[in-house]
C-alpha cells in the first residue's frame, strides 16, 4: 500500500475568534518546522515528533494486526518523520546506496496489475 498525505493544519474546525480561543489548535501555527512535523505525524496538536510518523504508525498497525503483515518503511528524503513508527524503523535510501528494483522482470505482470 502507498499513502500520500495532503493535510491542513487544523485539529478541529475554527469558525471565528471566539472559537480560536476555545478550540484545540496546532502547536506552533506560524512555525514552518512545527507545521512540517504536524504534517508528517498527523498530530499537529502535539509538540515535536514523539507521536512518530503517520506512515510508520500505519505500518506498525499492519504488522501488529490479525494478519501480521511484514512491513518495511523507506525514506527517500533522509530523516523524514512520516515513515518512522514506534516499532517500524525507516530505511533511508539515497543516491549512494541506490540499487533499483532488481527483480522487476520477475514481478512485471504483478506490478502491471496494481
Contact 86, 73 (CB under 8 A): no
Give 53: exposed, middle or buried? Use CB within 10 Å, 0-12, 13-18, 19+.
buried
Q: Given pLDDT bands bounded at 50, 70 and 90, which one contains residue 16? A: confident
- Rounded Cα distance between 99 and 57, Å, is 27
Domain boundaries defined on the chain? 7-50, 52-114
Grid coordinates representing 108 are 512485471
Global pTM exceeds 0.85:
no
What integer pLDDT is reported at residue 8 of this predicted model? 62
What integer pLDDT is reported at residue 2 of this predicted model? 61
pLDDT in tens, 70-111: 999 988 878 889 999 999 998 888 767 656 667 888 988 988
Q: What is the dihedral of CA 33, 37, 42, 43, to 10 degrees?
A: -90
Contact 45, 24 (CB under 8 A): yes
Q: Given pLDDT bands bounded at 50, 70 and 90, which one contains residue 53? A: very high
Q: Given pLDDT bands bounded at 50, 70 and 90, which one contains residue 21? A: confident
Amino acid at each position: 500500500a502507498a499513502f500520500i498525505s495532503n493535510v491542513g493544519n487544523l485539529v478541529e474546525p475554527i469558525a471565528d475568534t471566539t472559537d480560536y480561543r476555545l478550540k484545540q489548535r496546532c502547536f506552533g501555527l506560524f512555525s514552518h518546522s512545527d507545521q512540517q512535523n504536524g504534517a508528517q505525524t498527523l498530530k499537529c496538536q502535539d509538540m515535536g515528533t514523539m507521536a512518530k510518523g503517520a506512515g510508520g504508525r500505519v505500518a506498525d498497525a499492519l504488522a501488529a494486526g490479525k494478519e501480521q503483515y511484514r512491513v518495511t518503511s523507506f525514506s527517500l528524503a533522509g530523516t523524514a518523520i512520516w515513515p518512522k513508527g514506534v516499532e517500524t524503523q525507516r530505511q533511508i535510501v539515497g543516491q549512494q546506496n541506490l540499487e533499483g528494483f532488481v527483480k522487476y522482470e520477475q514481478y512485471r505482470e504483478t506490478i502491471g496489475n496494481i
